[in-house]
Chains A and B, each alone.
Chain A
Amino acid sequence: DAGITQSPRHKVTETGTPVTLRCHQTENHRYMYWYRQDPGHGLRLIHYSYGVKDTDKGEVSDGYSVSRSKTEDFLLTLESATSSQTSVYFCAISVGGERNIQYFGAGTRLSVL
């Protein structure tokens, strides 16, 4: 798992409540990503980070915010969860170099009721 830990692994919440998902890495990689996975859509990029306090939007960023105050932690926040945000969320890191492979965490299954 390339030293990536996602928490929580499962969460059930109610519409309108705030939710924060955490991604923690142990190897000081610069790039970190949040994706959501839904049937028929593959993985879609929500936000990514290219350094401490440096973040940018992805394809499906509406309704989500992120923060990265330390190299090792990348937080994804749903300010007011909606049922359409029920999904599996994956964090990834990019290890750089010639191959520049992205490695993924175990995922967080979020249900918004």
Chain B
Amino acid sequence: ELKVEQNPLFLSMQEGKNYTIYCNYSTTSDRLYWYRQDPGKSLESLFVLLSNGAVKQEGRLMASLDTKARLSTLHITAAVHDLSATYFCAPGPYGNKLVFGAGTILRVKS
């Protein structure tokens, strides 16, 4: 059974601080997706990591993928309030299907 574990599930951080969200998955996948969801809204694609060692950055967020360790990280640099959201990782596709982690709720406090 494919398992996707995100850590932490809830993260409260101060503005200006750095932190990393981890996504571990049990079944090999060549790529991984990160999504963002604002409260009451839909999911928005953030990053697509297409191969081992891939690194993508946008603003204060940077995502990386290690397919051998089955691990992806989402690093937050100098957090700001606007980054408050829920972040999901999803390895795959497995037969055109993605499997989502439970999500990490991020709250950035001023």
Contact = CB atoms under 8 A, between A and B. Distances in A.
A48 B97 contact: yes
Interface stretch (A20-28, A70-78, A97-105): A97-105
Interface residues of B, number: 21
Contact of A58 (B44, B93, B97, B103): B97
B101 interface: yes
B97 A50 contact: no
Contact of A94 (B31, B42, B96, B100): B96
A33 B100 CA distance: 13
A105 B98 CA distance: 16
A49 B96 CA distance: 10
B62 interface: no
Interface residues of A, number: 25
Contact of A42 (B31, B45, B97, B100): B100
B48 to A, nearest CB: 5
Contacts of B103: 42
B33 interface: yes
A62 interface: no
Contacts of A48: 96-97
B42 A40 contact: no
Contacts of A31: 96
Interface in B73-110: 88, 93, 96-103
6 contacts: A42-B88, A100-B31, A100-B96, A101-B33, A104-B44, A107-B42
Interface of B: 4, 9, 31, 33, 41-45, 48, 50, 88, 93, 96-103
Closest 3 CB pairs of A and B: A42-B100, A43-B100, A42-B102
